[in-house]
């Protein structure tokens, strides 16, 4: 599999604002923010979409959920944020390297669009 956009970002081949990084994942500012805070939390392992994560990814996915808590506490947005994963083109996925959108800083409606 050739490198994804996000793999190129974490390898510093493409610039991005990296706001968090650990052994397993990293977070960047979205280039086209949909809220005052819009981050993408991305596993370093290039899983193309959530539906294709396997049993072997259990610890990684748990790690990422805890990273969301850590990042949102650090940014003081932990009282209100939305976490979204677009899985598949029809759900709005455009980059086929799993990522979680962390959005905050404005009201969010339900159901989502």
| DSSP letter (8 states) at residue 98 | -
Please tell me whether the peptide bond between 98 and the residue prior to it is cis, using omega within 30 degrees of 0. no
CB 28 within 8 A of CB 71: no
Among residues 66, 70, 92, 108, the one that binds ligand AMP under rule CB under 6 A: 92
Kindly compute the dihedral angle of the four CA atoms of residues 82, 83, 85, 91, in this order, to the nearest 10 degrees.
-10
Contact between 79 and ligand AMP per CB under 6 A = no
Contact between 87 and ligand AMP per CB under 6 A = no
Contact between 42 and ligand AMP per CB under 6 A = no
| Closer residue to ligand AMP (CB): 16 or 71 | 16
Q: How far apart are the first and last CA of the chain?
A: 32
Contact between 94 and ligand AMP per CB under 6 A = yes
Q: Binding marks (x or -) toward ligand AMP, 3..22, rule CB under 6 A?
A: --x----------x------
Least Cβ distance, residue 32 to ligand AMP (angstroms): 4
- Distance between CA atoms of residues 18 and 56, nearest Å: 26
Give the footprint of ligand AMP on this chain (CB under 6 A): 5, 16, 28, 30-32, 40, 86, 92-95
């Amino acid at each position: 599999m050739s490198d994804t956009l996000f793999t190129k970002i974490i390898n510093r081949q493409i610039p991005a604002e990296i706001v968090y990084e650990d052994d397993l994942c990293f977070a960047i500012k979205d280039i086209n923010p949909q809220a005052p805070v819009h981050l993408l939390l991305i596993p370093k392992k290039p899983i193309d979409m959530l539906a294709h994560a396997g049993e072997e990814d259990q610890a990684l996915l748990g790690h990422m959920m805890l990273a969301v808590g850590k990042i949102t506490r650090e940014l003081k947005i932990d009282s209100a944020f939305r976490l979204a994963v677009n899985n598949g083109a029809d759900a709005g996925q455009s980059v086929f390297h799993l990522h979680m959108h962390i959005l905050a800083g404005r009201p969010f409606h339900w159901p989502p669009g």
